[in-house]
Structure 1
Amino acid sequence: MTEVDRPDCVLIGFNEIDFGDFARAQKAFEATSGSYQELLTNSVLLGDRRRTYMDLLNAVRERMTGRPSHLTAFEMPSLGVAYLASFLRRRGFGVDIVNFFNTGKEQLARLLARSPRAVAITTTYYVDDEPIRQIIQFVREHDPDVPVIVGGPRVHNLCAGQPERVQDVLLRAIGADIYINSAQGEDTLASVLTALRDKNGDLSRTPNLIHRDPARPRGPMLRTLPMVENNDLDQNAVDWSLFDSSYYTPTTYMRTSRSCSFGCAFCNYPAMAGPLTLSDISTIEAELRYLCDHGLRNIIFVDDTFNVPLPRFKKICRMMIENKFDLRWVSFFRCSNADDEAFDLMAEAGCVGVFLGIESGDQRILKNMTKFARTDRYEYGIRELTRRNIVTLASIVLGFPGENEESVTNTIDFLNRTQPTFYNVQLYYHDVLAPIEKQRERYGIEGSGYSWRHATMSWQEAAEWKAELIRRVQGPALMPLYGLSIWCIPYLLSQGMTMDEIVRFTRSATRLVVKGLDADRTDPEQEIDAIVRELTGAEAVRA
């Protein structure tokens, strides 16, 4: 789509900050929080710098080909940006998008020269504010006067449960002008843009806002009345005809539901997002048909529990089969909520990989988590998915209240016994907005976030057990949270890699993660050469 002469809004997607710099910043909290330990087991050590798996993959590809490699999954369409652009364009707003800030800076500077009425920044993937601050600084350098709007999960989570004075401190540190504090927020954004365009910037009648007071820049921030949004998924499905096909092909994301029907004790998402809401299958079919007709080959379904309800999931699979969409796709999957027919249908419909929220291989811990799942059903699900050549990622949370040596050992045994393709282990994060907070006294919980202890474990002990788990799990490859995850598989397939190459690379990277647990430095040239040999069976050729 051509750029607008004077946009009502420029939407900005993800900003990937330098991981080595991020790691150094987190190291300052090494003694007081598990956040740095979480980072260590989600990255590799090259020289004396922490790097993501994708950084490592690019270095390996450069060594193998002699050509620069700049793979990044953030090249794929940001679903948040696409959804908001579609939502706003349908309502008559002139919207331009910068999908990936890192590679879109020249485009953004050009758009800012056209004096847009607003800039809006999505925050879907952020767990830190620095990437947002960097975007705002760039915007201010090119257009000091344009109103900057920030919304999405980061803002909602920062504000939830905090008094207004604390909210003000946190939000002022980010540096935007207008914050949308809503679990959804797209309708609020449209109202803000209307006010900026047609009402001389009067925001007083727009709900869900926290914003600077132009008359008192250093005074308390102003707030408007909260109002729950309930935007219809069918009416607001992304209209991909509003985008050039080069934007969403060959790989994109898609959502077919909102929220989650389960209430896991460690997760606040269902409470934040509201009741489970489902798109009609006819809406999904129409969206997929348009995408496939215009060149889509790979898709990532982002629903938290794609196969819930199970009868609907089977209908979606049958619909994809009947239409012969011939897509390769990945999704979240609850393998305790599936049967043989579901496994057969998803394989025939093109599923190549699933993210399994296993959380623990210990039945007692699953009960503490309110998971309503059994380890024997997990084993059955992993076995049946593997039989159908669907790769699996088993996600583990280590350190939940009640965790001890026995439960960690059971989880290690579970992973070694079931042999998922990949696994990830996350240090428990105590979210004070999650249901588990109500059981603080029962479990003897102290602290929050990554700084906690309870009756059976501290975050420091959990970090040690996490490293021990990674050393003792044999077979499954460690797949990280940062840079390269199971959601990257369709992207890497579209870049010419095979599934076997992805698996073998991840196993090689796992070896380097383990090495980095006990070292302050590695030889990058030696490590890259070793991975090239492991992938090709040949000596690396250096440029």
Structure 2
Amino acid sequence: MHDTKVTTDVMNPDCIVIGYNEIDFAEHARRKRAEKGKSGGYHDLLTNSVLLGGERRTYMDLLNIVRERTTGCPSRLSAFELPSLGVAYLTSFLRRRGFSAAPVNSFNSATEQLREMLAGSPRAVAITTTYYVYDEPIQQIVRFVREQNPDVPIIVGGPRIQNLCSDQSPESRDGRLRPLGADIYINSTQGEDTLAAVLAALRDKGGDLSRTPNLIYRDPAAPDGPMLHTLTTVENNDLDENAVDWSYFDPSYYAPTAYMRTSRSCSFGCAFCNYPALAGPLNLSDLSTIEKELRYLCDHGVRNLIFVDDTFNVPLPRFKKICRMMIENKFDLKWISFFRCSNADDEAFDLMAEAGCTAVFLGIESGDQRILKNMTKFAKTDRYEYGIRELTRRGIATLASIIVGFPGETEESVKNTVAFLNRTQPTFYNVMLYYHDVLAPIENQREKYGIVGSGYAWRHSTMSWQEATDWKDYLVRNVNGPALMPGYGLSLWTLPYLLANGMTMEETVEFIKGASRLVIKGLDTDYLDPEPEIEEILRGLAAVRDGAGQGASS
């Protein structure tokens, strides 16, 4: 397990940093189902899960069933066993500044550890919100903390808070934040420096937060009254100075599979994405910083790495330098990353393969050139096709991420995307229903595209969300060859974790193809006997293993 302590007294830390809370997926699906006539949210869930009997479950749930049938032993694989980069980064950041910080990597697997720490006298609890798109996981953690220690201040920050607060009046912000139940909210694109300032105020200033910027917090004198707002300032935390110092952690926390970041933000401006506007200009770590961190990780048992940079191969010359540096140092890492085919050449493909790249996430979004133009992708489908072919030729697995329903989408454009996937044959693909983010650049083109509504409940001049769900089903049923990979539970980012737990890439592909068949069978029903498909998956995996054994013996 990864929930080990840092080298500090974890019973009475200045801050407990709590990572991801994986809520019960079946229960979440039941609640989303009640909304299926109002928006496309439930339907998007259908192609990101499998139907086992009458319950919606994740691919990882299915994999654990398959592994138990194969081995006869319990299987409890979870992607959230991987070390949370957000938790590691904040813990390292605070320790560098003299605060004792205790990481709780996964709320679910470290409940008892957290209970023990809360029974002591922690100065504060900080909850990260990376990956959350709704509030329930945060609320569950807050309730647990309150039950164990009603007096400890609870601080919440990160992307979910930033999204809840964006373009809102103070009154609207209060209304959105208060149901979360915390005491202090950090509203900043970065926020780590603000967190350190909050801890300093709690320790040295009697809890007076009025001079700490970027805060929205409950008034201690009137906890049910209006929340207090402090001055907003822009943080600019240097990536080189604040790279994770892994020496604060026992290697069992991060080895053999870890996450790493070498940049912040994205230099592109896709019309559907608000991340560059929120994160600011692209900021890059120096090559020497990257080399130092990689060397430490490799020397302490890391063999699989997940680069989380949104555009790892941008700028291209820097990407090549990173690959050459990894090759020259003989780091012997297997790694995955985001990748832009439109920003690569043959030399880059060769270097990344030699440097140990095993898989890449490709933000293809559409196989129709007109839709790519609407999305401001600045990419050509022929370049995508070339990139997938060259990556595959070098043994690098590819995932093509697709959006259905973007403004301008038509029957023709969806069919062009299906033809593109069938022609290029990426290893995996995923498909998402278009989500209209009112903070993304596309919001400024409402009139142009006739956009009405937001989130998963929208329509525009060429399609409604209801029509888009039908076309999403059409795509899933008509793509032949690539395996449908979900965005939750078992995604491309779990491949290194699965490899570290004994699965081969061939076995993983075979399993995901079997799960894909279950997805299609579960699109039009609320109950499905999974046994025939589970048996088919078991036979397929056995055939893969037999083939591998015969290949080795020959």
Q: TM-score range by the shorter chain?
A: over 0.9
Alignment of 1:387-466 (within 5 A): 387-466=393-472
- The 1-side partners of 2:64 and 2:170 are apart by 44
Instruction: Give the CA deviation at 1:5.
Output: 4.3
- TM-score (normalised: structure 2): 0.96
- Overall identity of the aligned pairs, in %: 75
Residue matched to 2:551: none
Q: Alpha-carbon deviations, 1:127-161, whole Å to 9, x = none?
A: 11111111111111110110000000000001112
Q: Report whether the alignment pairs 1:357 with 2:367.
A: no
Residue matched to 2:305: 299
SS in 2 for 1:139: helix
- The 2-side partners of 1:524 and 1:130 are apart by 29
- The 2-side partners of 1:527 and 1:66 are apart by 19
Amino acid paired to 1:20: A
Q: Report whether the alignment pairs 1:336 with 2:342.
A: yes
- TM-score (normalised: structure 1): 0.98
- Residues 522-531 or 8-17, more deviating: 522-531
User: Does the CA contact (< 8 Å) of 2:510 and 2:537 recur in 1?
Assistant: no
Residue matched to 1:63: 69
Amino acid paired to 2:100: G
User: Does the CA contact (< 8 Å) of 2:49 and 2:486 recur in 1?
Assistant: yes
- The 2-side partners of 1:468 and 1:5 are apart by 54
Instruction: Give the CA deviation at 1:115.
Output: 1.4
Amino acid paired to 2:10: V
Q: Report whether the alignment pairs 1:494 with 2:517.
A: no
- The 2-side partners of 1:402 and 1:382 are apart by 25
- The 1-side partners of 2:415 and 2:168 are apart by 38
- The 2-side partners of 1:419 and 1:527 are apart by 23
Residue matched to 2:196: 190
Residue matched to 1:541: none
Q: Alpha-carbon deviations, 1:25-51, whole Å to 9, x = none?
A: 111210111110110110000000000
Residue matched to 1:41: 47
- Residues 160-169 or 304-313, more deviating: 160-169
Q: Alpha-carbon deviations, 1:158-184, whole Å to 9, x = none?
A: 111222222112111111000000000
Amino acid paired to 2:244: V
- The 2-side partners of 1:72 and 1:226 are apart by 38
Provide the aligned length of Structure 1 versus Structure 2.
538
- The 2-side partners of 1:123 and 1:529 are apart by 38
User: Does the CA contact (< 8 Å) of 2:83 and 2:259 recur in 1?
Assistant: yes
Q: Report whether the alignment pairs 1:148 with 2:154.
A: yes
Amino acid paired to 1:323: N
- Residues 517-526 or 395-404, more deviating: 517-526
SS in 2 for 1:386: helix
Instruction: Give the CA deviation at 1:537.
Output: 4.5
- The 2-side partners of 1:218 and 1:121 are apart by 22
Amino acid paired to 2:250: D
Instruction: Give the CA deviation at 1:455.
Output: 0.1
Q: Alpha-carbon deviations, 1:221-256, whole Å to 9, x = none?
A: 110000000000000000001110111100000000
Amino acid paired to 1:103: S
Instruction: Give the CA deviation at 1:530.
Output: 2.7
Residue matched to 1:176: 182
User: Does the CA contact (< 8 Å) of 2:518 and 2:530 recur in 1?
Assistant: no
Amino acid paired to 1:406: E
Residue matched to 1:117: 123
Residue matched to 2:256: 250
Alignment of 1:372-387 (within 5 A): 372-387=378-393
SS in 2 for 1:316: helix
Structure 1 runs of 4+ with >6 Å offset: none
Amino acid paired to 2:422: N
- The 2-side partners of 1:423 and 1:327 are apart by 24
- The 2-side partners of 1:530 and 1:167 are apart by 51
Instruction: Give the CA deviation at 1:524.
Output: 3.5
Instruction: Give the CA deviation at 1:520.
Output: 1.4
SS in 1 for 2:337: strand
Amino acid paired to 1:74: F
- Residues 287-296 or 213-222, more deviating: 213-222
Amino acid paired to 1:502: T
Q: Report whether the alignment pairs 1:369 with 2:375.
A: yes
Amino acid paired to 2:419: D
- The 1-side partners of 2:413 and 2:10 are apart by 57
- The 2-side partners of 1:276 and 1:408 are apart by 32
- The 1-side partners of 2:434 and 2:270 are apart by 13
Residue matched to 1:513: 519
Residue matched to 1:76: 82
- The 2-side partners of 1:205 and 1:183 are apart by 19
Instruction: Give the CA deviation at 1:527.
Output: 3.3
2:225 aligned residue (204, 219, 224): 219
- The 2-side partners of 1:170 and 1:535 are apart by 47
Instruction: Give the CA deviation at 1:107.
Output: 0.2
SS in 2 for 1:442: helix
- The 1-side partners of 2:172 and 2:472 are apart by 33
Amino acid paired to 1:296: V
SS in 1 for 2:430: strand
Q: Alpha-carbon deviations, 1:274-311, whole Å to 9, x = none?
A: 00000000000000000001111000000000000000
- The 2-side partners of 1:187 and 1:327 are apart by 32
SS in 2 for 1:102: coil
Gaps of 5+ in 2: 1-5, 545-554
Gaps of 5+ in 1: 539-543
Q: Report whether the alignment pairs 1:207 with 2:207.
A: no
User: Does the CA contact (< 8 Å) of 2:11 and 2:121 recur in 1?
Assistant: no
Root-mean-square deviation (CA), in Å? 0.9
- The 2-side partners of 1:411 and 1:4 are apart by 52
Q: Report whether the alignment pairs 1:530 with 2:536.
A: yes
Residue matched to 2:330: 324
SS in 1 for 2:297: helix
- Residues 128-137 or 381-390, more deviating: 128-137
- Residues 518-527 or 100-109, more deviating: 518-527
SS in 2 for 1:332: strand
Instruction: Give the CA deviation at 1:528.
Output: 2.3
Instruction: Give the CA deviation at 1:10.
Output: 0.3
Alignment of 1:6-45 (within 5 A): 6-45=12-51
- The 2-side partners of 1:136 and 1:220 are apart by 20
Instruction: Give the CA deviation at 1:435.
Output: 0.7
